[in-house]
C-alpha cells in the first residue's frame, strides 16, 4: 500500500452559507478579517479550515483537517510544497515514522509551531484515517481502545447581547440536559464576575469554566481567580498572555481553581514545559493543531503529571472534530470535550455521516473504520477557495 496522491482543500463558508458566524455579532471588521474586542486574535467573516485528502494506489482514501480559522491557503501551500514530497510513495500505515519525518524536515524553521504544525496535523489525521480504513479499525481502536462509547462534553460559549439574554440561553441548555459550560469573557473583573454570577444563578449545580482569552495581567488574574475560588469555578482558561509561562505558574500556585491552557500549543515539548513548571492543571490540546499522533502523546504526558485533559475545539469542521473525539475517548485523564452547539451544524455540513451528540452533550465515539465519518466531496469542492 503506497500513497499516490495528496490534495488540499482550503475551505471558506460565508456567514450566509453557514447561517452563522464563528466570530459572532459583536465582532468588528479589521483589515479583511474580524476581531472581538478586547480579544486580540483575528477571526474569519464566516468559517475557514484546511482539508487534506490522501489517496493510495489501490484507491483507498483518508481525510484530514488542520485547524486554520484564517488563511487556510497558507497551511495548504505548506502541505503542497513541503509535506507532500515527504509522504508520496510511502505506506500510510507507518504513521509515526511519517510524523517523525515531517517534524524533522523543518527542524530549524518552526517545525513544531504555527502554520507548519497545522499543516502536519491535517496530514497526520488523514494518515490515521487511512490506516484505520486499511485494517478495518477505528482510530480509537488503533490507539488502544475507548474508555467509553461516549465522550462527555461541555458547552463552550453561551451567546447573547447581555447577561440577561445569556442567562435565558443557559436556562434552555440546562433544560435540555447540559450541566457543564464555559463562558467566553475577558473584559474586566467586574464585568466577568457579573456574567459568571448571572449564569450560575440559572442553576447553582452547574460546572462553569471561564475563558479570559489571554486578556489579563497577573495581578488582575489573581484577583479574578480568588473570586472564582469563592464561587467554586470549574476552571480558569487562558488568563494571561500565552507566552507568560511563569506568570501562569505563579497564578496556579495562588488559587485553587485549575488553570486551563493548550489551544495555542502544538507539541508535547511545549506541554512538557508547562506541566513541569506546574503552570497548568488542565491541558487543552486542539487535535486540529496537534494531529492525532502528537495529541495522544500530549494526553499521555498530562496523565503522567496528574493533569486532566479537555481537548479544545473551535471553528474546525467535522474531520477535526471526529479526530478530537477519538483522542478524547482514549485519554485516561479526560475531563470533557469542548462542544459549541452553534458550530456542530457547520462541522457536519461536509459529512455524509454526521457526528452524533446526545441531548446532554455526550458525543458518540464513531465506530466505523478510521475516523468513522464519511466526507461529502461535492460539498467540499463547492466551498473550496481557489488559489
CA-closest candidate to residue 387, choices 68, 14, 73, 132: 73
170 and 121 fall within a common domain = no
156 and 284 fall within a common domain = yes
- Cβ–Cβ < 8 Å for 325, 355: yes
Once rounded to an integer, what is the mean pLDDT over residues 275-289? 98
169 and 105 fall within a common domain = no
Asked if pLDDT for residue 22 goes beyond 80, the answer is no
**DSSP structure string for 315-361:** S--HHHHHHHHHHHHH-TTB--EEE-TTTHHHHHTTBSSPPPB-TTS
Q: Is residue 156 part of a domain?
A: yes
Q: Is residue 387 part of a domain?
A: no
Percent of the chain with pLDDT over 90: 82
More confident residue, 328 or 110: 328
Question: Which cell numbers hold the place of 246?
Answer: 511563569
- Number of structural domains in the chain: 2
Q: What is the pLDDT of residue 360?
A: 83
Q: How far apart are CA 285 and CA 334, in angstroms?
A: 12
More confident residue, 7 or 33: 7
Task: Map grid coordinates 464563528 to a residue.
Answer: 22
**Average pLDDT score over the chain:** 94
Q: What is the pLDDT of residue 24?
A: 66
Asked if pLDDT for residue 283 goes beyond 80, the answer is yes
Strands (E), 185-281: 207-211, 235-237, 259-261
Q: Is residue 114 part of a domain?
A: yes
CATH of the domain at 113: 3.30.390.10
170 and 125 fall within a common domain = no
- Cβ–Cβ < 8 Å for 102, 120: yes
Q: Is residue 191 part of a domain?
A: yes
Q: What is the pLDDT of residue 182?
A: 97
Task: Map grid coordinates 487543552 to a residue.
Answer: 284
Q: What is the pLDDT of residue 138?
A: 98
Reported as a single tens digit per residue, the pLDDT across 331-386 is: 999 999 999 888 899 999 999 989 999 988 899 999 999 999 999 999 999 999 88
Percent of the chain with pLDDT over 70: 98
Once rounded to an integer, what is the mean pLDDT over residues 222-233? 98
95 and 215 fall within a common domain = no
Asked if pLDDT for residue 23 goes beyond 70, the answer is no
Strands (E), 125-223: 150-151, 153-156, 180-184, 207-211
Tell me, letter by letter, the H, E, C secondary structure of 14-56. CHHHHCCCCCCCCCEEECCEEECCCCCCCECCCEEEEEEEEEE
125 and 158 fall within a common domain = no
Mode of pairing for the β-strands spanning 3-13 and 47-56: antiparallel
Q: Is residue 370 part of a domain?
A: no
36 and 128 fall within a common domain = yes
Q: What is the pLDDT of residue 175?
A: 94
Domain limits for position 60: 3-136+377-382
Q: What is the pLDDT of residue 32?
A: 77
* Residue 175, φ and ψ in degrees, nearest 5: -60, -30
126 and 193 fall within a common domain = no
81 and 152 fall within a common domain = no
117 and 154 fall within a common domain = no
Q: What is the pLDDT of residue 258?
A: 98
204 and 110 fall within a common domain = no
- Cβ–Cβ < 8 Å for 170, 205: no
More confident residue, 360 or 117: 117
CATH of the domain at 292: 3.20.20.120
Confidence grade of residue 46 (pLDDT, cut at 50, 70, 90) = confident
120 and 155 fall within a common domain = no
Whether pTM exceeds 0.85? yes
Amino acid at each position: 500500500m503506497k500513497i499516490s496522491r495528496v490534495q488540499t482543500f482550503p475551505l471558506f463558508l460565508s456567514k450566509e452559507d453557514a447561517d452563522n458566524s464563528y466570530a459572532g455579532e459583536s465582532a468588528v471588521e479589521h483589515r479583511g478579517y474580524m476581531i472581538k474586542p478586547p480579544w486580540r486574535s483575528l477571526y474569519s467573516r464566516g468559517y475557514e479550515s484546511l482539508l487534506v485528502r490522501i489517496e493510495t494506489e489501490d484507491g483507498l482514501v483518508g481525510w484530514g483537517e488542520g485547524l486554520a480559522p484564517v488563511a487556510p491557503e497558507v497551511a495548504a501551500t505548506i502541505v503542497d510544497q513541503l509535506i507532500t514530497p515527504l509522504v508520496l510513495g510511502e505506506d500510510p500505515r507507518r504513521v509515526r515514522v511519517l510524523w517523525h519525518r515531517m517534524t524533522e524536515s523543518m527542524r530549524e524553521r518552526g517545525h513544531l509551531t504555527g502554520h507548519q504544525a497545522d499543516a502536519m496535523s491535517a496530514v497526520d489525521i488523514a494518515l490515521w484515517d487511512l490506516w484505520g480504513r486499511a485494517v478495518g479499525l477505528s482510530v480509537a481502536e488503533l490507539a488502544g481502545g475507548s474508555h467509553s462509547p461516549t465522550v462527555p462534553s461541555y458547552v463552550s460559549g453561551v451567546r447573547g447581547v447581555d447577561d440577561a439574554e445569556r442567562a435565558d440561553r443557559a436556562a434552555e441548555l440546562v433544560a435540555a440536559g447540559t450541566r457543564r459550560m464555559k463562558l467566553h469573557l475577558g473584559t474586566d473583573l467586574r464585568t466577568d464576575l457579573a456574567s459568571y454570577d448571572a449564569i450560575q444563578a440559572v442553576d447553582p449545580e452547574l460546572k462553569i469554566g471561564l475563558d479570559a482569552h489571554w486578556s489579563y495581567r497577573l495581578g488582575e488574574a489573581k484577583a479574578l481567580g480568588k473570586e472564582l475560588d469563592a464561587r467554586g469555578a470549574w476552571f480558569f482558561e487562558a488568563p494571561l498572555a500565552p507566552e507568560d509561562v511563569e506568570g501562569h505558574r505563579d497564578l496556579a500556585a495562588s488559587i485553587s481553581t485549575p488553570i486551563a491552557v493548550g489551544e495555542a500549543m502544538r507539541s508535547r515539548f511545549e506541554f512538557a514545559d508547562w506541566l513541569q513548571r506546574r503552570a497548568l492543571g488542565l491541558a487543552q490540546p486542539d487535535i486540529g493543531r496537534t494531529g492525532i499522533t502528537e495529541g495522544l502523546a500530549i494526553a499521555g504526558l498530562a496523565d503522567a503529571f496528574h493533569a486532566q485533559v479537555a481537548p479544545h475545539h473551535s471553528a474546525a469542521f467535522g474531520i477535526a472534530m471526529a479526530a478530537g473525539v477519538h483522542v478524547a475517548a482514549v485519554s485516561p485523564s479526560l475531563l470533557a470535550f469542548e462542544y459549541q452547539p452553534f458550530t456542530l451544524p457547520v462541522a457536519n455540513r461536509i459529512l455524509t455521516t454526521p457526528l452524533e451528540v446526545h441531548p446532554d452533550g455526550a458525543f458518540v465515539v464513531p465506530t466505523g473504520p478510521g475516523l468513522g465519518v464519511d466526507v461529502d466531496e461535492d460539498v467540499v469542492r463547492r466551498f473550496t477557495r481557489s488559489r
